[in-house]
Amino acid sequence: MPTNGHKYSILLPTYNEKDNLPIIIWLIVKYMKASGYDYEVIVIDDGSPDGTLDVAKDLQQIYGEDRIVLRPRAGKLGLGTAYIHGIKHATGDFVIIIDADLSHHPKFIPEFIKLQESGDYDIVSGTRYAGTGGVYGWDFKRKLISRGANYLSQVLLRPNASDLTGSFRLYKKPVLEKCISSCVSKGYVFQMEMLVRARQHNFSIAEVPITFVDRIYGTSKLGGTEIIQFAKNLLYLFATT
């Protein structure tokens, strides 16, 4: 029986994560089982050519169809639409978003849940830039880009959150639906806009310090075009919010 009467739908968008997926799902199952919360993991694979979906099917056999839900799509259609797709199939009243590349450790999920319960918060966001939060495995250039992007976002958008560009979050399901429906951005700016829209809707946001670890397997999907797109979208949000 669940310990608090709630169910948590954990959305896991994937693209070429066949090496990381068994580990991240094992960790999610481990920490959710130990904490006693009811949950499901919804894997949204965007047509990975490396066989991620086949690995996901094997994991579904191991952990059961009630725990591992597969909702693949034909190709890469963007993060925002992956979340919308996942929400449609989510049976929980809370939604947790986590990266499949092991940069977010599932051990923090029970902390998110406890903090949410303590103040009935609409959103709980993991932060690398407050308290004991931090980043490991990035070179100076990547840290500088991330810090700079976060600082610019803070100055221009005043979001009432210390980490705008992270994507490890817990939402009340209707809150996530409302934020997504308000968003116009795609790609990496999407996470930032989500918190800006949350502020506009007067949703309450709490933060849990997290340690972010650079991906172990595979390559980062952040490139020069994403950075230019980020700058353009940041200015757009500044002008319109």
Write out pLDDT tens, residues 49-72.
Answer: 999 999 999 999 999 999 999 999
What percentage of the chain exceeds 90 in pLDDT?
Answer: 54
Euclidean distance between CA atoms 227 and 61, whole angstroms? 39
Indicate whether 137 pLDDT > 60: no
Q: Which domains does the chain have, with CATH numbers?
A: 7-240 (3.90.550.10)
Indicate whether 215 pLDDT > 60: no
Contact in structure between 39 and 10 (CB atoms under 8 Å): yes
pLDDT at residue number 134:
64
Beta bridge partners of 208: 126
pLDDT at residue number 97:
95
pLDDT at residue number 226:
59
pLDDT in tens, 31-41: 999 999 999 99
Query: In this predicted model, which residue has the larger pLDDT, 124 or 223?
Result: 124
pLDDT at residue number 187:
64
Confidence of residue 241 (pLDDT cuts 50, 70, 90): low
Contact in structure between 78 and 5 (CB atoms under 8 Å): no
pLDDT in tens, 76-134: 877 788 888 999 999 999 999 999 988 899 999 999 999 999 999 999 999 877 766 66
Q: What are the CA-CA distances from residue 177 to residues 8, 87, 136, 166, 200 (Å)?
A: 15, 8, 32, 18, 14
pLDDT at residue number 111:
96
